[in-house]
Amino acid sequence: MATYYTEPSRTFSEYLLIPGLTTKACTPANVHLKTPLVKFKKGEESAIQLNIPFSSAVMQAVSDHHMAVALARAGGISFIFGSQSIEEEARMVSKAKSWKAGFVVSKSNLTPEHTLADVLELKERTGHSTVAITQDGTPRGKLLGIVTSRDYRVSRDSSAKQIREFMTPFSSLVYGQSGLSLGDANDLIWEHKLNCLPIVDADQNLEFLVFRKDYDAHKENPLELLDENKSYIVGAGINTKDYEERVPALVEAGVDVLVIDSSDGYSEWQSDVIRYVKSNFDVKIGAGNVVDREGFRYLVDAGADFIKVGIGGGSICITREQKGIGRGQASSVIEVAEARDEYFRETGIYVPICSDGGIVHDYHITLALAMGADFVMMGRYFARFDESPTRKLKVNGSFVKEFWGEGSNRARNWQRYDSGGKSNLLFEEGVDSYVPYAGSLQENLDKTIGKIKSTMCNCGALSIQELQQKARITLVSATSLVEGGAHDVMLKESGISGD
């Protein structure tokens, strides 16, 4: 007879944290979010510790080398998507590993058709006085010129002037080619008395800007996640089909951590991959996804360095509708965290767990951590930023970024979903969608981290480990969910006109 679970499985939105005593030492400035990425023995430290508990999803629409650099610079880790050729994935890993601090993705960008008024508005909003002018106005479009305050004079009738009339055109710019070292970039900056040096690829597409001030103070990212050679720590996704070719190429490219990317990781195929990697390479490997104690134990016994938790909760995921498998994300994390703690008590080995998918509000991250996750993985969250690889479009008057599931026809990631070895997707497990464009990764992360730290102070916790010990978590009723939002008031944005 089938086994029945009498309790329904639950999502993060069904829980809240109850505040604990906040001591005077408990201020956001004193909170740290350091967390282990890979397993370690009692009394020792994890060989890789994240400085913020964030990882970006193994997805085409989320994690390329640009995202890997941006997130490592902020203290987290990206897992570069595996649903591409082995050569391409290895190239992305190698680009991220050879990246040097001081190269930034351009944050203020316009097209030649924009006007001086647009430049002034952008400058007012962002505080940036250097604007890259690209063909499509994106940070990685074809570079056509640069505008700084030296290029224009504001007068009564100048605001409608098109940028093409006053920008410093590409033909007059001093620029560097991709691959240039930071030292050489700095030499060019000094030689030509520049404030900013654009770096372009062979097709004139903008890659980065190097600012004089950033070179002087490129230690301004105190949380950046570096290996012993001062390169960023980089993860990459693999599958259970071509691992004997893919893993050697990724290791050769310098990858620090692999993760087997699968919608259901409780399988003999995953066990085979872990054993193969462990017996041939000195590289860390995470596995998953699982949603219960048995799945956790199986992959840990096979040798996994961390375990990813979650089936069917992803924003673009339709696995539950298509196949009827999955479990509420909160219930999955709670049970797997218990299994992790049991395993630690039995063996003295701590195997970190990652809550993957289904984070909608920032407070869901705090809940996932409080419930026992060591770090979270997010797709939708990161897809909204400048640093994600997809196009930024205007739809119905609002800026959006494209975002599609690995199980959608667009991604054609049959290795992630097919368990029988056929090279096509029989049916889709993900959708193709848009997410609202949200600006730069760092600005958004700062806000999210601010909220997490503030909530941790409410709970009287200065670290994630302390949060996990002290958290008091309550279920909420359907009616108290209504009470949790603004209610019984007329919101001002609702368009009511006054007299």
From the candidates 384, 416, 457, 459, give the one annotated as an active-site residue: 416
Tell me the site size for ligand IMP, rule CB under 6 A. 23
Contact status: 358 vs ligand IMP (CB under 6 A): yes
The Cα angle at residue 364 between residues 358 and 369, in degrees rounded to 5: 105
Stretch that binds ligand IMP, among 80-88, 245-253, 308-316, 386-394 (CB under 6 A): 308-316
Q: How far apart are CA 384 and CA 332, in angstroms?
A: 26
Footprint (CB under 6 A) of ligand IMP, residues 428-447: 429-430
Stretch that binds ligand IMP, among 299-307, 342-350, 374-382, 475-483 (CB under 6 A): 374-382
In whole angstroms, the minimum distance from the beta carbon of 318 to ligand IMP comes to: 6
Contact status: 425 vs ligand IMP (CB under 6 A): no
Task: Confirm whether residue 262 is marked as ligand binding.
Answer: yes
Q: How far apart are CA 39 and CA 408, in angstroms?
A: 33
End-to-end CA distance of the chain: 70
Locate tokens 């004193």: which residue?
Answer: 30
Tell me the pairing of strands 168-169 and 143-147. antiparallel
- Radius of gyration of the chain measured on its C-alpha atoms: 24
Task: Confirm whether residue 263 is marked as ligand binding.
Answer: yes
Contact status: 53 vs ligand IMP (CB under 6 A): no
Stretch that binds ligand IMP, among 343-351, 354-362, 445-453, 484-492 (CB under 6 A): 354-362
The Cβ of residue 17 has, within 10 Å, a number of other Cβ atoms equal to 20
Closer to ligand IMP by Cβ: residue 64 or 356: 356
Stretch that binds ligand IMP, among 19-27, 227-235, 341-349, 399-407 (CB under 6 A): 399-407
For 435, the 3-state DSSP assignment is strand
Q: Which of 126, 124, 131, 101 is nearest to 195 (CA)?
A: 131
Note whether 407 and 428 are within 8 A (CB): yes
Beta bridge partners of 110: 133
From the candidates 317, 354, 457, 459, give the one annotated as an active-site residue: 317
Closer to ligand IMP by Cβ: residue 298 or 381: 381
The Cβ of residue 25 has, within 10 Å, a number of other Cβ atoms equal to 9
Contact status: 400 vs ligand IMP (CB under 6 A): no
Task: Confirm whether residue 310 is marked as ligand binding.
Answer: yes
- Per the annotation, the verdict on 416 as an active-site residue is yes
Alpha-carbon distance values, 43 to 307, 321, 344 (Å): 21, 44, 12
Footprint (CB under 6 A) of ligand IMP, residues 256-285: 263
**Binder among 140, 218, 364, 380 for ligand IMP (CB under 6 A):** 380
- Per the annotation, the verdict on 212 as an active-site residue is no
The DSSP secondary structure of 302-314, one letter per residue, reads HT-SEEEE-SS-S
Task: Confirm whether residue 312 is marked as ligand binding.
Answer: yes
Positive or negative torsion for Cα 250, 254, 258, 262: negative
Binding residues for K(+): 312, 314, 317
Query: Can you say which residues are annotated as belonging to the binding site?
Result: 261-263, 310-312, 314, 317
Residues that bind ligand IMP (CB under 6 A): 57, 59, 263, 314-317, 319, 356-359, 377-381, 405-408, 429-430
* Residues labelled as active-site residues: 317, 416
